[in-house]
Homo-oligomer: A and B are copies of this chain.
Amino acid sequence: MRIIRSIKVMQDYSGAEKNKGKKIGFVPTMGALHQGHLSLIRQARKENDLVVVSIFVNPTQFGPKEDFKKYPRNLQKDALLCKKNGVDIIFSPSSKQMYPSGYKTYVNVQDLSCGLCARSRPGHFQGVTTVVTKLFNIVSPTNAYFGHKDAQQAAIINRMALDLNLPVKVRVSPTIREKDGLAFSSRNLYLSQQERKEAVVLSESLKLARELIKAGEKKSAVIVAAMRKLITAGRSAKIDYICIVDAKTLKPVPAIPGKCLIALAVWIGKTRLIDNLVVSRKF
């Protein structure tokens, strides 16, 4: 396994491999790798000749008051996990290289980048779509892998790839969870032991929603109210949003249609966690 720091070296390397007819599988990450990332890496390993993982804590997707500075960074540990899971290249550029002085270009996906997480994280998705476009142009992947835990991000990147005719297949894989149901996330590292226990309420509330729908409940408002009640019964949970939206357009739906996305963001102490579930009336 090789660690590449330079954009030019990475671009030349992947361009040359692509020219040899090699399939490149790409997993973009911000490091602090967990089981969710590893499942994407293993899928990429199966479906491609080469696997590239980028590790880059992208400053443009953090708000000024967010956790950019304290976001967990541990390249040594990440590199070990990558090596164990068959990664060929870690691409880990500096911020200065990615956003040099005079940088001015941003990619925007309209509508989908409003609502849900965008309400409390303005500019976040512009940062994501911009860095993903850059990384795609540098790594030239055949397939790129994203987790469904960031459902809004996945929908936005799918739309962007389609709209900009990016010659990349975007693959979205199911959320990977701990035994008790908590979705794997790099931000789980922030949680105290007590908070870790309480964080299970995100997935519990989604399970509750699924049960209610299974039992015939159709009104979004009723389902959200029940989720809200369950979550706020805990000691340190504070709801950012709970939304039931169309799985493709991400527009709120007042009644459960054939297929919808239930998404939520909850503060557990000082840590903001997200989770979601796709449900349809038929299970």
Listed in ascending order, the chain A residues whose CB lies under 8 Å from chain B are 7, 11, 15, 18-19, 21, 102-112, 129-130, 133-134, 137-138, 140, 159-160, 163-167
Q: How far is the CB of A168 from chain B (nearest CB, A)?
A: 9
Are B21 and A164 within 8 A (Cβ)?
no
A129 to B164, CA, bound (A): 11
What separation, in Å, do the CA atoms of A158 and B129 have in the docked complex?
20
- Whether A163 lies near B103 (C-beta < 8 A) is yes
CA distance A210 to B159 in the complex (A): 48
For A140, list chain B residues within 8 Å (CB): 167
The chain B residue with its CB closest to the CB of A139 is: B165
Q: Is the CB of A137 within 8 A of B163?
A: no
Give A166 to B105 CA distance when docked, in angstroms. 12
A20 to chain B, nearest CB (A): 8
- Number of copies of this protein chain within its complex: 2
Q: A159 contacts which of B104, B112, B138 (Cβ < 8 Å)?
A: B104
Q: How far is the CB of A125 from chain B (nearest CB, A)?
A: 11
Which residue of the partner chain, among B111, B134, B167, contacts A104 with CB atoms under 8 Å? B111
Whether B167 pairs with A137 at a CB distance below 8 angstroms is yes
Rounded to whole Å, the gap between the CB of A23 and the closest CB of chain B is 12
A165–B140 CA distance with the chains assembled, in angstroms: 11
Which B residues are CB-close (under 8 A) to A103? 163
Q: Known interface pairs A11-B167, A164-B134. Does A107 touch B109 (Cβ–Cβ under 8 Å)?
A: no
15 contacts between A and B (CB under 8 A): A11-B165, A104-B109, A104-B159, A104-B163, A105-B107, A105-B160, A105-B163, A107-B107, A108-B108, A133-B164, A137-B164, A137-B165, A137-B167, A138-B165, A140-B167
Q: How far is the CB of A179 from chain B (nearest CB, A)?
A: 38
Q: What are the 7 closest A-B residue pairs judged by CB atoms, nearest first?
A: A105-B163, A137-B165, A104-B110, A105-B160, A138-B165, A105-B109, A134-B165
Please give the distance in Å from A156's CB to the nearest CB on chain B.
Answer: 9
Set of chain B residues within 8 Å of A109, measured between Cβ atoms: 104-105
Q: Is the CB of A15 within 8 A of B167?
A: yes
A231 to B260, CA, bound (A): 61
Question: Nearest CB to that of A103 among chain B residues?
Answer: B163
In whole Å, how far is A113's beta carbon from the nearest beta carbon of chain B? 9
Q: Which residue in chain B gives the minimum CB-CB distance to A130?
A: B164
